[in-house]
Structure 1
Amino acid sequence: MSELRFSLADVAGVRLAVSPANETVMSMWALASPVHHAVHLPWIDRARVTLRRPEVAERVRPLVELTWRGCPLPDFITPAARPNVEMADQLDQIADTPSAVVVQDLLSTTSRRPLSPFGQALLADPRGLLPQLVDAMRVWYDEAIAPDWSRMRALLDADVAYRAAQLAENGAGRFFEQLHPSLRWLGDRVVSDDPFERDFDLRDRGLALNPTVFSQRRVLWNLLEESLPAAAYPVRAVGTLWETAAPPPGDPLARVVGSGRAALLYLLDEASTTTDLARRTGMSAGNVSAHLTALHAAGLVDRARQGRHVLYRNTDAAAVLLRASRGG
């Protein structure tokens, strides 16, 4: 069990952002254990083909060795993300990690398992070998993550918008308890039901919260003293990541409003963004936007801004149409 102690400044410093580096690193866990990441099998099949290419395998080997079979991750390769950060920015940040921090972070992972051969070499020569690790992350992102990044990003952005609304509406205590079943808010601290046994004071540095598609079991913490405090938590609705939604054949609502608009109405029982709807329907963002404009004008969807996101959701009138279409 872990405890994170918050000051008022820490509560005010809770922030949400998407981290491309997290997805790049944690995707290796899905490759190493497909049975525990079955939801990602469409991606795993493609990624394994990519990793078998000799020119990719050799350059990505440092990352594979540091992450194989769920090895604890050194904090410096999953840095706290800020809003709208790009992979290139995070790689620059990782490349600038002081050697002493690299060493400390690597040693922090050895309590249950020894370092891999590359990990041992990096420990002995962090300045000389850190560029190889950064190159491995860059190659793996370009080859395996970037082709699907728009799809992943849409799901992650939708989660950030949803969580930001929860934080604004319910306050920090209720927000953390809704973030993951393992978390409880006890007055001035978050208690995490996990095996890490950490007692950590955030010390007015706030907490970066980064949703991730590749960690499905628990919240993962960056809590070393030299790291900016961060947590990677499982994204909502990860089961929809590789799906493409469409109305069932012969759907009566689709015959009335068109298949594209019907598909959106079926998905909008839960608030979603344009990019998330595009990902789930396979339509372009432009087509989704045009359909949503028409549905909004007809009084079938509402829209509300949450930060930099606009969330759409069915109105009561749309719910009546959907019940009639379903025979309810």
Structure 2
Amino acid sequence: MSELRFTLADVAGVRFGVSPANETVMSMWALADPARYPVHLQWIDRARTTLRRPEVAERVAPLVHLTLPRRWLPDFLTPAARPGVEMDGQLDQIAATPPGVVVRDLLATTPSGPLRPFGRALLADPTGLLPRLVEAMRVWYDEAIAPDWPRMRAVLDADVAYRAAQLAEGGTGKLFERLHPGLRWLGDRVVSDDPFERDFDLRGRGLALNPSVFSRQRVLWNLLEDSLPAAAYPVRAVGTLWERAPEPEGDPLVRVVGAGRAALLHLLDTSVTTTDLARITGMSAGNVSQHLSALHAAGLVVRSRSGRHVLYRNTEVGAALLRAARGS
């Protein structure tokens, strides 16, 4: 069990961000242990084909050595993501990790298992070999994550918008209690039901919350004294990540509302923005907006505002229409 202690400044400093570095690193767990990640089997099949290419396998090997299933990750590989950060910025941050921090974080993983050959070599020469690890992350992101990043990003952004609305409506306590069933808010601290046994004071630095499509069962903490504290938590609606809209000829809903509007209704079981829907479906933002306006006028979707974002979700009528179509 772990405890994170909050000051008032920490409560005010809770923020959200999407981390492409987290997804790049944690995706290796799914690749190595697909039985534990059935929702990602479609991606795993493609990624395994990619990794079998000799030129990719050789360049990605350093990352494979540090991301074994059920082993702890070196914290410097998953830095806290601030709003708007992109992969290049995170790779630059990882490349600038001081050698002493690399060594400390590698040693901290050894209770979960011994280091593999590259890990041992990096431990002995962090300055010389860290660039190889950064390059391995860049290659794996480009080859395996980037082709699907718009789809992943849409799911992650939708979760951030949803959680931000929870924070605004219910405060920090309600946010953490709803973030994951293993978390409890006790007024000035978060208690996490995990095996890590951490007792950590945020000391006014706040906490970055990063949703992850490849985080499975629990919240993963990145709690260091010399960097922004962070937590990667399982994203909502991950089951929709690899869904595709039904083919028009196979979907009776298409005959009622049209192909574009049917595709949107199938994706609105959870709250999503216009931008996210455009990324997932490949439609233009203008086309999505027109369809949503028609669905809203018909009482099939409802909209709400969270900060600068407008979120759309099926109404009960829209959900009933979907259930009827899916059951036909």
TM-score range, shorter chain: over 0.9
Distance 2:208 2:325 in 1: 43
Aligned-residue offset at 1:54: 1.0
Q: Do 1:75 and 1:227's aligned partners in 2 also have CA atoms closer than 8 Å?
A: no
Any idea what SS the aligned residue of 1:69 has? coil
**Who is 1:22 aligned against?**
22
What RMSD, in angstroms, separates the aligned Cα atoms of the two structures?
2.4
Any idea what SS the aligned residue of 2:216 has? coil
Aligned-residue offset at 1:163: 0.6
TM-score by length of 2: 0.92
Aligned ranges 1:102-113 → 2 under 5 Å? 102-113=102-113
Any idea what SS the aligned residue of 1:114 has? coil
Which stretch has the larger CA shift, 275-284 or 52-61? 275-284
Distance 2:325 2:24 in 1: 42
Q: Do 1:244 and 1:282's aligned partners in 2 also have CA atoms closer than 8 Å?
A: no
Whether 2:114 is the aligned partner of 1:134: answer no
Distance 1:48 1:168 in 2: 41
**Who is 2:61 aligned against?**
61
Which stretch has the larger CA shift, 197-206 or 225-234? 225-234
Cα deviation, 1:60-106, whole Å, max 9, x if unaligned, reads: 11100000223211111100000110000000000111111111111
Cα deviation, 1:184-241, whole Å, max 9, x if unaligned, reads: 0011100000000010000101000000011111100001222310000000111111
Q: Do 1:303 and 1:313's aligned partners in 2 also have CA atoms closer than 8 Å?
A: yes
**Who is 2:213 aligned against?**
213
Q: Do 2:167 and 2:175's aligned partners in 1 also have CA atoms closer than 8 Å?
A: yes
Q: Do 1:10 and 1:202's aligned partners in 2 also have CA atoms closer than 8 Å?
A: yes
Q: Do 1:15 and 1:207's aligned partners in 2 also have CA atoms closer than 8 Å?
A: yes
Whether 2:223 is the aligned partner of 1:223: answer yes
Give the total of aligned pairs: 328
Distance 2:143 2:165 in 1: 34
Distance 1:131 1:176 in 2: 37
**Who is 1:295 aligned against?**
295
Amino acid at match of 1:242: W
Cα deviation, 1:157-192, whole Å, max 9, x if unaligned, reads: 000001111111111111101000100001110000
Distance 1:46 1:317 in 2: 38
Amino acid at match of 1:274: T
- Structure 2, unmatched stretches of 5+, are none
Cα deviation, 1:249-282, whole Å, max 9, x if unaligned, reads: 6766533321321332344353222244345556
Distance 1:182 1:318 in 2: 32
Distance 2:263 2:229 in 1: 40
Whether 2:165 is the aligned partner of 1:165: answer yes
Any idea what SS the aligned residue of 1:111 has? helix
Distance 2:150 2:240 in 1: 14
**Who is 2:198 aligned against?**
198
- Structure 1, unmatched stretches of 5+, are none
Aligned ranges 1:242-257 → 2 under 5 Å? 242-246=242-246, 253-257=253-257
Whether 2:29 is the aligned partner of 1:32: answer no
Amino acid at match of 1:244: R
Distance change >3 Å, CA 316–CA 124, structure 1 → 2: closer
TM-score by length of 1: 0.92
Distance 1:242 1:292 in 2: 22
Any idea what SS the aligned residue of 2:178 has? helix
Aligned ranges 1:225-304 → 2 under 5 Å? 225-246=225-246, 253-278=253-278, 281=281, 283-298=283-298, 300-304=300-304
Amino acid at match of 1:217: Q
Distance 1:114 1:321 in 2: 54
Distance 1:100 1:159 in 2: 35
